[in-house]
Amino acid sequence: MKKSLMLLLSVIVMLTMLSACSGNTNEKNEPAGDDGEIKGDIVFLTNRTDMIGNVYDEYKKRFEEKYPGVNLEFEAILDYDATLKVRMSSGDFPDVVFLPTLSNAEFPEYFAPLNDIEFSGDIYFKELRAHEGQMYGISSGGSTVGIVYNKEAFAKAGITDVPKTYEEFLAACEKLKQSGIVPLASNFKDKWPLDVWVHDIPSLIGEASDHQNKRADTDTPYTMDNEYGKTWSIVRELYEKGYLEPDINSTNWEQSKKDIATGKFGMYLLGNWVINQVIENGADPDNVGFFPFPADNSGQAKAPLNPDFFYAVNKNGNVPAAKAFIHWMIEESGYDEFAGFIPTLKDREPKLAQLAEFNSYDVKYFEPAQPSDVAIDIQNAAQLDQAATVQEFVLSDDPAAVLEKVNGRWAKARSDLGIKE
Amino acid sequence: MGVIGKLQQGLKYIILCLAALVILFPPYIIVVNAFKTKEKFFEASTMSLPDSFFYFDNFVQAFKQASIPLAFGNTATIIIVTLFFNILLGSAFCYAISRFQFRLQGILVGLFMFATIIPQITTQVVNYKTIASLGLTNNLMGPVLLYIGADIIQIYIYLQFIKNIPYELDESAMIEGASLVRIFRSIIFPLLAPATYTIIILKTISIYNDFFVPYLYLPRAQHVVVSTSLMRFFGNNSGDWQLISAAILIIMIPTAVMYLFLQRYIFSGVTSGAVK
Amino acid sequence: MLSKLSFQTQKKVILICFITIPLLLLFTFAYYPALELLRLSFMKWNGVSANKEWIGFANYVEVFSNPDIFGVFKHNFAYFVVGIIQNMLALFFAVILNTKLRGRNGFRLLLFLPYILNGVAVAYLFGYVYDTTNGSLNALLGSLGFEQLSQTSWLGNKDFVNYTLASVGLWRFMGFNMVIYLGALQSIPSDLYEAASIDGANAWQKFSKITLPNIYKIIELNLFLTVTGALEVFDLPFVLTKGGPAGASETFVMKIIETAFQFNNYGLASAMSVVLLLFVVIVLSIQRYLLSRGDD
C-alpha cells in the first residue's frame, strides 16, 4: 500500500518537476539588448521542411561563421499560416518568421520595423507590407506568372512560334489536343493553382494590379464583363473546348509535373518557381520554355511581378541578430537561386535561364498594389474563397448566376460592416 | 469436422482473401515506388513495376535524410513515458470507479465521453497556450502531457474487462487480509492483460502516426519524431515520392512487428483461465 | 500500514487518489479549452490579436442565418452510413478471426495494416487509386471488362464524392474497430460458450445470445465513435478533394478551420464549434433513445 501511494505521489512530483525544469531550460537566452550588438540565439520559423538537415545546415554554418556570437536555429512547419497564428496567439513565437495573413495595420502589434536594414541596392516590394511609413516585411524573393511549356511537345504538335495573342493561344491548344497532348494542366482540383486566375490574369486583362482593392468600392465586384468575368470565362472556354485535363475534378499535382516533363501535358500557367520542379521531375532544362500568357489579342506581352513570403522580425525577440539574418538571407545566402526566384535586390539578375527567355518578349510588368484592408475585411466577412468561386464558375451551367450569388454575399457583408460608397 | 464445417471454413478463407486483396490493393503503389530509381520514377508510369526489388538506395537515403535513428529515439521516449503513466492512471481509474459501486461512475464516464465530442481542432489555440505557459514547447514532455490523459476507448475497454472479473476474487483476497491496492496490483491488473495489450497497441499506433501534435509542439530538428520526419521530403508544392515511399515502409516495420508480437498476449486467454 | 485501515477508508483513499490525476488532465486539456471556446464564441476576435470585443450572440445569429454554413451537414451523412457498414464488417471479421483458423494471426495483421500505415501515405495512395484517367481502380475495372465503369470520376462526381471519401475511412479504420472488438471478445468467459455448445446451440445462436449482449457496451462505444467521427470528419476531404467539386465534399469542421484561419474570424469559428458540439449531442441522444427503445 505504502509503495503504491509513494508511486502515485512520485508521479505527481515528476509531472510538476518536468514542467518546472523544462520551463527553465527553455527560457530564451538573454536577448541582445538595445546596444544593437549581434549575438545570442535566433530562431527562424520556415515553411521549407525539405531544407532541414541539408541546405539549412550549411546556412547555419556560414551565418555563424560571419556572426560568431549568434546561435541560429530553424523550426520548420507545414500549413504555415494557421500554425503561426496559433503560436502568435500564445504570445510566444520565433524571432524571424514569414508574415501571416493579417492586415498591415496589425503588424506593429507584433513585428519590428525593418527600415534600417541597409541593403546593397534598391529592393522590390518595399511598400507592400508597410504601415504608416514603417516597413514590416521584406520579400524573400519574387516571381512572375506565365506559360511554362514543354518545347518538344510544341514541336510535335507543329507549333513553331509561341503564341502572342489569345487567338494564337487557342490555336496552339487545338494543335496540342489534335496530337494527343493535354494542352494546359490546370490542376483544377487542388484549388491553389487557380490563384493565378484570381490575382494575376485579371491584372493583365484590366491592365491594373489594384483590382482586388477596388472591389471595396462596389456592391457588384464580379461581373461578366469586368476583369473577373472575362478571366474566368477564359478558364471556362478552355475547359469547354477540352483543353484542360480530361477530368478536372481528378487532377494530381505531383503527377502533372512528371507529365509536363515527359510532354504528355503541354503547358502550365503558373509562377516561374515551378520550372525547377519540372526539371527536378526529369525534364531536360533546355526543353522547358517560359513565355508570357497572352490574355488578350493586343499582342503586348504582359506579366505580373509577385512577391513570395515576407520575412518579418518578432519585436520581442532578438531584433538585431534577426535583422542581420534577413540581410544575410537576401544578400549572401543564395536562397533566391535555390528557390528559382527573381532576386529581391533589383540590380541582381535572376539565375534561371527561362527568365531570360521570358524577358526577351519585351514584357510589361505589373507590380502588385498594397492590399487594402477594407477589401480583405469584406472578403472575410463574406467568407469568400475566390479560388472556389472560379471552380464553381467553370463547372456551373449558369456562370452569371454564380457571380450574382457571390455579389449578393459581398453586398451583404459590405452593408454589415457599414461601408458606404 | 463435418462437411458443413469444412464448407464454413472454406467460406471464411474466401472472404478473408477477398478482404486481403482490397486491403493490399491501394498500398501497392507505395511498395513499387520505394524500389524505383529516380530516373525510372520519372520515366515510367507511377503504377509500373520497378526494375528490381533489390534496389535499396532509396531506403538508405531516406534513412539518412529523415534522421531515422533520432526520430525513432524521440518517438520511443514519448511513447514509453506516455504508456507508463497512461496505463497506470487509466487502469487504476477504471478499477476505482467500477469496483466500489461508486455513485459518480456514470457521470465520470459521461465526462470522458463528452470530452471526445469537443472538436479538437478549435481547442488547439488554448492548449498551445497552456503547454507554452508550462514551458513544454520544444520539449518531448509537452506531447506526453497531451497524450497521457485517459481516453474513452481505454476506459470502455477496461470497464468491459473489470465487469467480467468475478467479485469473489476480490472478496477472497480481502478475507486473506490483502489491502485494496494490493488486490488491484496483484489480482486485477494482471487479469486486465488482454485489455492492456489492446490499449498499448492502439495508443502506440495513434501516437506513432500522429502528425499534428509533434509538428505544432516540436518543430526543432533535434526533436524530430517518426511522423514529422516524413516532412523532410516535402518541398514547396513538391515531394520526393520514391523516398517518401521508402521512408513509409521503414517506419511501418516497428509497429507491424509490435502488433504481431503483442497480439499473442491479447489472445492468450488469460481471463478464461482465471475465471474458474 | 494502510492495510490496517478499514476497507471503507481504503475505498475512499483509493477513489480520491486514482481519480484525481485523470480528472485533472481531463479538465486542463479538454474542459478548460471548451469553456474558453464558449467564451470566445461571444467575442469578435481574429485569432491572434490581444484585442477581443464582446458582441453577445451575434456570432450565433450569423451561424443560424447563413444557409451556407448549415448546408454542409448533409455531406456528413455519407460518413455516417459508411461508418455503420464499417462497424458491421469489423465485428464480422473480429468474430471470424476469433475462431480457430489456420493463419489467423497473419489475417489479423493484414486487416489491421491500413491503420498502421502513416496518414500521409493514405492520402497519397488514394489520390492514385481514385484518379480518373491514371487511377489504379479504373485501370482494374477496365481490365475486368467494365468499360463504362472504368471512366468514373470517383472524386469528381457531386453525387457520390462523399461516399468515395468515406470509403477511404472504411479502408483505414475498419481494422482499428476490429481490434477493439477482438479485445472485447477476450473478456467473455469461455465457459459460457462451452455451456452453450453442450446445450446444442449453433454458431448464430451463440453470437446473438452470448457475444452480442456481452460486448454491448463496446458496440455502443464504436457507434459513438462512428457518429462523432462522421460529424467531425475533415482530414480526408481536406487532403483529397479540398472540398470539391464546387464544395460538394466540404464538411462542417473544414468550414470551421477556414473561418478561423483563412477568414481570421475566430469568434465565429468558436460559435460554429459550439453549435457542432450541441448537434453531436442531439444526434447521440436520438441514437441512444432509439437503441434503448429497441431493447424493450
Which of chain B's residues have a Cβ under 8 Å away from the Cβ of C261? none
Taking the Cβ of residue B258 and every Cβ of chain C, the question of whether any pair is shorter than 8 Å is answered with no
Grid coordinates of C72:
454542409
C-alpha to C-alpha distance for A202 and A141, rounded to whole angstroms: 22
**Which residue from C minimizes the CA distance to B184?**
C14
CATH class of the domain defined by C76-250: mainly alpha
pLDDT score for A175? 95
Taking the Cβ of residue A246 and every Cβ of chain C, the question of whether any pair is shorter than 8 Å is answered with yes
Please state the domain extents for chain A. Answer: 34-141+308-350, 143-307+362-416
C-alpha neighbours within 13 Å on the C-beta side of residue B203: 30
- DSSP code of A123? B
Which residues have CB under 8 Å from B135's CB, separation 6+? A19, A22, A23, A24, A26, A27
Residue from the list A15, A52, A254 with its beta carbon closest to the beta carbon of B241? A254
> Would the pLDDT of B151 be above 90?
no
**Highest-pLDDT range among A5-14, A15-24, A384-393, B238-247:** A384-393
> Would the pLDDT of B50 be above 90?
no
Which of chain C's residues have a Cβ under 8 Å away from the Cβ of A102? 46, 48, 264
C-alpha to C-alpha distance for A74 and A52, rounded to whole angstroms: 8
Q: Are A294 and A163 in contact (CB under 8 A)?
A: yes
Rounded average pLDDT over A58-76: 93
C-alpha neighbours within 13 Å on the C-beta side of residue A5: 12
Chain-centre distance of CA A66, in angstroms?
30
CATH class of the domain defined by A34-141+308-350: alpha beta
Which of chain C's residues have a Cβ under 8 Å away from the Cβ of B9? 101
Determine whether the interchain pair A383/C135 forms a contact, defined as Cβ–Cβ distance below 8 Å: no
Q: Are A224 and A400 in contact (CB under 8 A)?
A: yes
pLDDT score for A251? 84
If you count DSSP H runs as helices and E runs as strands, how many of each does chain A have, helices first? 17, 13
Grid coordinates of A253:
499535382
- pTM for this structure? 0.83
C-alpha to C-alpha distance for B273 and B276, rounded to whole angstroms: 6
Residue from the list C154, C157, C261 with its beta carbon closest to the beta carbon of A85? C261
pLDDT score for B263? 81
pLDDT score for A119? 93
- Chains with 3+ CB–CB pairs under 8 A to C are A, B
Q: Outline where A165-226 has alpha helix (H).
A: 166-178, 195, 201-206, 211-214
Determine whether the interchain pair A54/B65 forms a contact, defined as Cβ–Cβ distance below 8 Å: yes
Determine whether the interchain pair A78/B181 forms a contact, defined as Cβ–Cβ distance below 8 Å: no
Higher pLDDT, A37 or B129: B129
User: What is each CA distance from A357 to A148, A172, A289, A339, in whole angstroms?
Assistant: 11, 19, 8, 18
- DSSP code of A344? S
Higher pLDDT, B178 or A28: B178
Higher pLDDT, B229 or A31: B229
Nearest CA-CA partner of A312 in A38, A67, A46: A46
Which of chain C's residues have a Cβ under 8 Å away from the Cβ of A252? 127-128, 131, 134
CATH number of B60-275: 1.10.3720.10
**Which residue from B minimizes the CA distance to A193?**
B237
C-alpha to C-alpha distance for A297 and A165, rounded to whole angstroms: 4
Higher pLDDT, A299 or C123: A299
Chain-centre distance of CA B200, in angstroms?
7
Task: Please state which of the four CATH numbers 3.40.50.1360, 3.40.190.10, 2.160.10.10, 3.40.50.1100 is assigned to the domain occupying A143-307+362-416.
Answer: 3.40.190.10
When pLDDT is cut at 50, 70 and 90, the band that residue A22 belongs to is: very low
Mutate to test the interface with A, among C70, C239, C261 (most CBs of A within 10 A): C261
- Chains with 3+ CB–CB pairs under 8 A to A are B, C
Q: Are A63 and A325 in contact (CB under 8 A)?
A: yes
pLDDT score for A30? 42
Determine whether the interchain pair C29/B130 forms a contact, defined as Cβ–Cβ distance below 8 Å: yes
C-alpha to C-alpha distance for C80 and C75, rounded to whole angstroms: 10
**Which residue from A minimizes the CA distance to B244?**
A50
Q: Are A153 and A147 in contact (CB under 8 A)?
A: no
Rounded average pLDDT over A196-212: 93
Rounded average pLDDT over C60-80: 86
Rounded average pLDDT over B225-240: 78
C-alpha to C-alpha distance for A394 and B163, rounded to whole angstroms: 59
CA angle, residues A154, A157, A159, in degrees to nearest 5: 55
Q: In the beta sheet, which residues pair with residue A364?
A: A302
C-alpha to C-alpha distance for A370 and A215, rounded to whole angstroms: 14
Determine whether the interchain pair B122/C31 forms a contact, defined as Cβ–Cβ distance below 8 Å: no
Compute the count of residue pairs across chains B and C with CB atoms less than 8 Å apart. 257
> Would the pLDDT of C235 be above 50?
yes
Task: Please report, as a single letter, which amino acid is at residue C151.
Answer: Q
Write b or e for each residue in B25-40: b if 16 or more Cβ atoms lie within 10 A of its Cβ, otherwise e: ebbebbbbbbbbebeb
Q: How far is C86 from chain B (nearest CA, A)?
A: 13
pLDDT score for A12? 52
Q: Where does residue A365 fall: left (phi above 0), alpha (psi -120 to 50 degrees), or beta otherwise?
A: beta
pLDDT score for B238? 67
pLDDT score for A421? 55
- DSSP code of A101? S
**Highest-pLDDT range among A146-160, B97-111, C96-110:** A146-160
Q: How far is B54 from chain C (nearest CA, A)?
A: 22
C-alpha to C-alpha distance for C290 and C277, rounded to whole angstroms: 20
Determine whether the interchain pair C264/A102 forms a contact, defined as Cβ–Cβ distance below 8 Å: yes
Taking the Cβ of residue C120 and every Cβ of chain A, the question of whether any pair is shorter than 8 Å is answered with no
C-alpha to C-alpha distance for A109 and A127, rounded to whole angstroms: 18
Which residues have CB under 8 Å from A255's CB, separation 6+? B46, C128, C131, C134
User: What is each CA distance from B110 to B106, B115, C107, C221, in whole angstroms?
Assistant: 6, 8, 35, 12
C-alpha to C-alpha distance for B236 and B90, rounded to whole angstroms: 42
Q: How far is B86 from chain C (nearest CA, A)?
A: 9
pLDDT score for C120? 72
Please state the domain extents for chain C. Answer: 76-250
Range scoring the smallest mean pLDDT among A17-21, A366-370, B259-263 = A17-21
**Highest-pLDDT range among A130-139, B5-14, B265-274, C63-72:** A130-139
**DSSP-assigned states of every residue in chain C:** -GGGS-HHHHHHHHHHHHHHHHHHHHIIIIIHHHHHHHHHTTEE--SS-S--EE-TTHHHHHHHH-HHHHHGGGGGHHHHHHHHHHHHHHHHHHHHTTS--TTHHHHHHHHHHHHHS-HHHHHHHHHHHS-TTT-HHHHHHHHTT-TTGGG--TTT-TTTHHHHHHHHHHHHHHHHHHHHHHHHHTTS-HHHHHHHHHTT--HHHHIIIIIHHHTHHHHHHHHHHHHHHHHH--HHHHHHTTT-STTTT--HHHHHHIIIIIS--HHHHHHHHHHHHHHHHHHHHHHHHHHHHHH-
Q: In the beta sheet, which residues pair with residue B220?
A: A75
> Would the pLDDT of B131 be above 80?
yes
When pLDDT is cut at 50, 70 and 90, the band that residue B101 belongs to is: low
pLDDT tens digits, C136-183:
888 888 888 888 888 888 888 888 899 999 999 999 999 999 999 998
pLDDT score for A317? 92
> Would the pLDDT of A138 be above 80?
yes
C-alpha to C-alpha distance for A365 and A370, rounded to whole angstroms: 16
For chain A, the residue count is 421
pLDDT tens digits, B158-214:
998 898 888 888 889 988 888 888 899 999 999 999 899 999 999 999 999 888 888
Residue from the list C246, C263, C265 with its beta carbon closest to the beta carbon of A391? C246
Which ipTM was obtained for this model?
0.85
Taking the Cβ of residue C110 and every Cβ of chain B, the question of whether any pair is shorter than 8 Å is answered with yes
